[in-house]
Amino acid sequence: MNFPLLLEPMVGKPWMYVIFALIGFAFGFVLEMSGFGNSKKLAAQFYFKDLTVLKVMFGAIITAMVLLFTMVGLGVLDFSQVWVNPTYVWPGIVGGLIMGVGFIIGGFCPGTSLVAAATAKLDGVFFVLGVLFGIFMFGETVPFFEEWWNSSYLGRLTIPEWLGLSYGVVVLGIVLMALFMFWGGEQLERIIGKKDLRKEPRLRYAAAATLVAGAIGVIMIGQPTTEDKWALVAPVKEVALDNREVQIHPGELLKIMADDQLRVVISDVRPEQEYNLFHISGARNVPLDTLGNAIPEMHARQALNTIFVVVSDNEAAATDAWKTLTAESVPNTYILEGGINNWIATFGKEDPAIQPVPASFAASESASYATEQLNYTFPAALGDRYLASAPNPHEWELEYLPKVKLEMKRDKSGGGCG
């Protein structure tokens, strides 16, 4: 069994909503029992008198992080299927400052204000009303700063990718940083809040040691490589390859490219010099050895109606690229059947500038796609300025077996703080 689990196919919509409601109720109940529905307790952290919020929230974060990447390392969970908020640097900084100031003034964050409102605390009720009013005003005014709001976009960026470190090292570093913050928070509580630390449970030291051990375990287990991920899905996906379920005809690619309801991303994995000679209009050059760098951006687009198509001279390199993207859980990924050679054989017959090399397959359906060789010559490296690069879809009536089946990627299910 792999995670994340899809509840709707497992139990159906009614029970799925019941499970969500029970989880939400349990979370709110725990927050209330922990005192997080009390604005005075929440605001006390900003005066360094009671750092419970810091310790609880950071404790939850590092515990979930250690467990998550342990499961990823064991091959139980696919991290690429976990929603990671896209990074917008400056809007994120400004938004964080606004929320922080609101937290200090109001004594709540959005989640804890709902807990307070649910227990009929007036300050919580008014805070929730303020949140709703703020959401309304944001929605009404966003057109005035929408360009800035979408600026400094870095996509699905994680700390390991940013620092160029392994996930295990980053997990251990964050755990140690959090434990140091916990120690510092307790010292502030002792000095400013006059708290007697001798009354604190000693079990917290065992919990800290367990987290450090877990983080070290993440380093030792490591994270699965693309090859490891492919090995897990190969029994199913190799069948799709052998049955040619993912190799789409040039005519189908042309059709979906002309569909206004779809976004088609064509990745030409050939060397740059061949891409410069000729490529399909709109295709981007992503050589096979650099394909891994493009995967985070592809994941960031998965919530859209996006179809990814990989292209090479024939199919060998494109098949390798398809395996990489499939292993990394990029959905809606297909291979151009016969590659560029088949595309030109289909749409380039009337272009006198493009000539077949001697003994080329010349659109033979029995030709082997297992090797990579460009079977046409070009008078100049004109890229997508050849007629065959951008055929008019209204001028072509081709027979083929449609294979594209759009699979929608799950978007985030929620956000915010507790």
| Six token digits for residue 357 | 């090399």
Mark whether 21 and 160 lie in a shared domain: yes
CATH number for position 366: 3.40.250.10
Residue 40 lies in a domain: yes
Which of 224, 244, 259 terminates a domain? The answer is 224
Residue 154, number of CB atoms within 10 A of its CB? 15
Q: What is the pLDDT of residues 324-358, one digit of tens each?
A: 999 988 889 999 999 999 999 999 887 888 888 86
Helix (H, G, I), strand (E, B) or coil at 249: coil
Confidence grade of residue 90 (pLDDT, cut at 50, 70, 90): very high
Residue 363 lies in a domain: yes
* Residue 189 and residue 49 in contact, taking contact as beta carbons nearer than 8 Å: yes
Mean pLDDT of 130-144: 93
pLDDT at 154 over 80: yes
**Which of 246-255, 268-277, 298-307, 338-347 is the least confident region?**
298-307
Q: Which of 317, 232, 211 is nearest to 3 (CA)?
A: 232
Where is pLDDT greater, at 310 or 373?
Answer: 310
Residue 412 lies in a domain: no
34 secondary structure, DSSP code: T
Residue 91, number of CB atoms within 10 A of its CB? 16
Mark whether 196 and 259 lie in a shared domain: no
pLDDT at 20 over 80: yes
Residue 345, number of CB atoms within 10 A of its CB? 22
Cα radius of gyration (the chain): 27
Residue 84 lies in a domain: yes
Residue 121 lies in a domain: yes
Mark whether 184 and 269 lie in a shared domain: no
pLDDT at 366 over 80: no
Mark whether 207 and 278 lie in a shared domain: no
d(CA 77, CA 167): 15
Mark whether 124 and 249 lie in a shared domain: no
pLDDT at site 349: 82
Residue 403 lies in a domain: no
pLDDT at site 1: 46
Average pLDDT of the chain? 88
Helix (H, G, I), strand (E, B) or coil at 333: strand
pLDDT at site 372: 82
Mark whether 278 and 214 lie in a shared domain: no
pLDDT at 365 over 80: no
Q: Write out the residue range of the structural domain in which residue 265 sits.
A: 227-395
* Residue 85 and residue 415 in contact, taking contact as beta carbons nearer than 8 Å: yes
Residue 79 lies in a domain: yes
| Six token digits for residue 197 | 């630390």
Confidence grade of residue 407 (pLDDT, cut at 50, 70, 90): low
pLDDT at 220 over 90: yes
């510092």: which residue's tokens?
184
Mean pLDDT of 69-75: 91
Residue 262 contacts by C-beta under 8 Å, 6 or more apart in sequence?
Answer: 256, 305, 306, 307, 406
Residue 163 lies in a domain: yes
Mark whether 307 and 350 lie in a shared domain: yes
Mark whether 13 and 116 lie in a shared domain: yes
Q: What is the DSSP string of 157-197?
A: --HHHHHT--HHHHHHHHHHHHHHHHHHHHHHHHHTS---G
Domain count, the chain: 2
Q: What is the pLDDT of residues 274-290, one digit of tens each?
A: 999 999 999 999 999 99
**Which of 74-88, 210-224, 249-263, 386-400 is the least confident region?**
74-88
Mark whether 345 and 232 lie in a shared domain: yes
